[in-house]
Structure 1
Amino acid sequence: MEEYSLLKTLVLFAGTISLTDEGFDIVSGARRKYGALLAEYIVTSRTDLSPADQMERLLRLCSVVPHMMHASERDNSYCARMVLMNIGNLTGPLSYDLHI
């Protein structure tokens, strides 16, 4: 469960939206912090694995992040289309601001 929570946090800070330099530094710092916490958690909680297997687990977990970002981008473009065409009565200022 902890691995899942840390991985979700990494996905949250893996966004590619345009940020100010200060915002980019903050998000990059958070991404490094939670990546290090995930690595530390795997090392301390998975003592049954060899160091190479622990590294492999970390690599596999982190390799999920780009796929989640891709799925998020596809979902956002689908939602944008729904808002523009008013499918499901989604037209509104909040929907427009989020997806357009």
Structure 2
Amino acid sequence: MPVTSAILTRDPETGESPPSRVRQVAHCCARFNEARDAAKSDPRDVVRAEMKAPDFGDRSLINPLWPETWQDPQHRPARRAFRSELPPGRIIQMVATTIFPED
């Protein structure tokens, strides 16, 4: 059962989080998809996703990306958001759990 470690908002080229909150969320989602692809996982294999954010108001930036990643409403994972301190300037951190179907 693959579980990601903290997926942050860093730009892979600079190692820094972009100042734009929208770009931070996009980077976090891109890093999540890269990790999922590296594990040869389908979005339907993800059973739980946790989002940590210092400000729950930033959930409005995350919510539109949910149906983009999981287009089939019947195969969206459980998700939970937690208020959490993050490094300065960062607005989101994600952790996901995947269960692969048996062959």
Q: State the TM-score, normalized to the length of structure 2.
A: 0.30
Higher Cα radius of gyration:
1
The structure whose RCO (Cα within 8 Å, separation 6+) is larger is 2
Identify the structure with the greater strand proportion: 2
Q: State the TM-score, normalized to the length of structure 1.
A: 0.31
Identify the structure with the greater helix proportion: 1
